Amino acid sequence: MTVRVQEADFDLSSEIAAMRRGRPEIGAIAAFIGLVRDVNAGEAVAELMLEHYPAMTQKALEAIVAQTKQQWKLDAVRVIHRVGRLRPSDQIVLVAVAGSHRGEAFQACEFIMDYLKTQAPFWKQEQTPAGTRWVEARASDALAAERWKKT
């Protein structure tokens, strides 16, 4: 398991290569990348500031990954989340999951993102033409995390 919280950008190919190296048992890798959009709630976004709770962030992400590994048999998991100042089109988050087959890789990848969205202590602040504003949590994110509890 690799979990990193960093200001620097990341490269998908190098991360996947590092996950796969020396692991011929891996048959499937699913990866998700979240990006900064140039518009949100009807307003142009010039810049995004990602604040976090440093002492808790790593711990919260590791707990989510540990929970994921209890539910699916996985060979490797990699989560990278950026903090600090970001611009439209920048990468924000990478979740990559490796397993024997696609089923668990797809599901575990989505599960990690759904829990990250509701459990990991990050907050986005946007710069728009109207000024600076905090991004509101979406009810749909809470529902997305909730649905995994029904299975």
Which residues here bind other proteins, judged by CB under 8 A? 34, 50-53, 55-56, 59-60, 63, 81, 92-93, 113, 116-125, 134-137
Do the Cβ atoms of 101 and 28 come closer than 8 Å?
Answer: yes
Between 52 and 78, CB nearer to other proteins: 52
Nearer of residues 19 and 60 to other proteins, judged by Cβ:
60
Smallest distance from other proteins to CB 25, Å: 29
Least Cβ distance, residue 44 to other proteins (angstroms): 18
The HSE-up count of residue 35 (CA atoms within 13 Å, CB side) is 7
85 neighbors 48 (Cβ within 8 angstroms):
yes
CA R_g for the chain: 16
Concatenating the DSSP letter of every residue in 99-112 gives: ESSHHHHHHHHHHH
Instruction: Give me the helices (H) in 77-148, please.
Output: 102-119, 139-146
**Residue closer to other proteins (CB basis): 26 or 145:** 145
Give the nearest distance from C-beta 105 to other proteins in angstroms: 19
CB of 100 to other proteins, least distance (A): 27
Q: Which is nearer to other proteins, 118 or 128 (CB)?
A: 118
- Which residue's CB is nearer to other proteins, number 18 or number 53? 53
Q: At what angle do helices 102-119 and 54-71 cross, to 10 degrees?
A: 150
- Give min distance, CB of 24 to other proteins, in A: 32
